[in-house]
Amino acid sequence: MRRMPVSREMVFLVVAVLLSLAAGAALYWSRASTLTVAVAPSGGTEPTLLKAYADGLAARRKGVRLTIRPFDGVRESAEALARGEVDLAVVRPDVALPPNALTLAILREQALIVVAPDGAGVRAFPDLARKRLGMIAERSADRTLIGDAVDHYGLKLQTEPGPVAAGSVALVAVAEDDLAQALAEKRIDAVALVTTPTTPAARRIVGLVQAAARNRKIALFGVTEGPALIERFPRLQAVSVPAGLFGGRPKLPEEDVATVGASYRLMARSDLSRSTAAEVTQYLFEMRNALADTLPAANAIHAPSYEATAGATSARLPIHPGAIDYYEREQESFIERYETWIYLVAFLGGGVGSGLAWLRQRLSRLRRERVEVATERLLEIQAEARRPGDAGRLQALAGEIDDLAAEIVRHAVDRPTEPRTMSAAAMAVDAARSTVRRAAEAARPQPGTKPGLRAVD
């Protein structure tokens, strides 16, 4: 079996390499991005919410996949993001804020509010002096937030049992089931809540305090000097409890309650690509309603508030540029996202095309030169055949002509050659053969003559 010419093999090889690169690039760009997300706190709503979000991404075959890594607390999840072990994390900034973290979305906001029966004489934070403040959830972060608010009003937080000292507020841990009895027995005078006000738990606790109050009248207040407290603790945020959120007649609260609080945020490492961050944010909000059908906590997901792009990127809790792209509907197109690769492929493709053209031209020149060399040799054979010689030499020249003709034919069949070159070669073959034939006939002895003698006319 005749071997394929080198030039054709090379062309096929280059084409195969280019097709493989194109297929690999298409596969790389079309495959889903898999991100690792640290979720916390254990037993909270965020792990369940993000697990449902990850399942939804996989079920809808979105371009992003999430791998869940659970942690006991938000401090641990934040540290995992700071070490670069995960791509995303649930972070509560007032507990721990990684230096490389940027916000994608707020999963829920917690507000610090205090609820007290009307007869307790507690209607604002300064009234808590020498009072006992109940705390439902025993979280160190919530205790710290309550302590910061108490300290802002010149009071001290007392955690040891015993009589309440002057200028102090006793913080008493109490279970929800024991709340009504604790209020009735005066073991506590008010209840502090650090929670999302819209949750059923918040409504339940407010209802328990109402049930323990005379005429069901209660006082519900927050940190009225919230902006000043936020200046001292920049990782807190302003929260407003809408009037009438807890219903009732008269409505409760009677007017909006301004306070401070903390937020649980889905944050990404700062070097996560803008396009990927935009996709994660987009899919989260696209799927929010579907998630809320089974997880009402999904209704609390919302975008961080900001007025301008500059404010979003320079805020105390800055937003990831990819999330801003989604919020402002300026997500990168396919061309913008991969323009560097497209230009590079176009540049390399042009270079490869030019190289192939040069290679083809060079091979064509080599083929033409080989045919031209064979043609020149045929002309030399024609000249040699005119010189006197024996039959053996002429027979050798005839054999060489056949070999040269066969070589020219092979080049013409395997490799396209210019018609002008082939016409010249064909004429050279005919001329050489004709000259050798005439010379052989002239050298053949005539009948009636002796070898070595020429016939005389």
- Range with top average pLDDT, 120-134, 154-168, 340-354: 120-134
CA distance 39 to 46: 7
CA distance 398 to 127: 126
- Give the count of beta carbons closer than 10 Å to the beta carbon of residue 349: 13
Secondary-structure percent of the chain, ordered helix, strand, coil, rounded to 5: 50, 15, 30
CA atoms within 13 A on the CB side of 277: 26
Residue 409 lies in a domain: no
Residue 71 lies in a domain: no
For residue 173, what is the domain's CATH number?
3.40.190.10
pLDDT tens for 340-364 read: 545 665 556 666 666 666 555 555 5
Q: Output the CA torsion 21→23→29→32 (10° steps).
A: -130
Residue 256 lies in a domain: yes
pLDDT tens for 391-442 read: 777 778 778 778 877 877 777 766 666 677 777 777 877 887 887 788 777 7
Residue 77 lies in a domain: no
Structure confidence at residue 137 as a pLDDT band (50, 70, 90) = confident
Question: 67: which strand partners?
Answer: 36
Question: What total number of domains does the chain contain?
Answer: 1
> What is the domain extent for residue 278?
101-337
CA distance 109 to 102: 17
Q: What's the Rg (C-alpha) of the chain?
A: 45
Average pLDDT, the chain: 82
Assigned token pair, 457: 């006319």
- What residue type is assigned to position 179 of the chain? L
CA distance 267 to 323: 10
Residue 202 lies in a domain: yes
Q: CA angle at residue 345 from 344 to 346, to 5 degrees?
A: 90
Assigned token pair, 382: 């024609």
- What pLDDT score does 1 carry? 34
Burial of 52 (0-12, 13-18, 19+ CB in 10 A): middle
User: Shortest CA distance to 169 belongs to which of 115, 120, 129?
Assistant: 129
Please give the residue that has the higher pLDDT: either 337 or 269: 269
User: 33: which residues sit within 8 A by CB, 6+ positions away?
Assistant: 63, 64, 65, 276, 279
- 3 state DSSP class of 327: helix
User: 237: which residues sit within 8 A by CB, 6+ positions away?
Assistant: 109, 230, 260, 261, 262, 263, 317
Residue 362 lies in a domain: no
Residue 80 lies in a domain: no
What does the DSSP assignment read for 248-298? TTTTSSSS-EEEEEEEEEEEEETTS-HHHHHHHHHHHHHTHHHHHTT-GGG
User: Shortest CA distance to 197 belongs to which of 151, 152, 244?
Assistant: 244
Residue 371 has pLDDT above 80, yes or no: no
Question: What element of type H or E holds 365?
Answer: helix 339-386
Residue 245 lies in a domain: yes
pLDDT tens for 173-216 read: 999 899 999 999 999 999 999 999 988 889 999 999 999 888 88
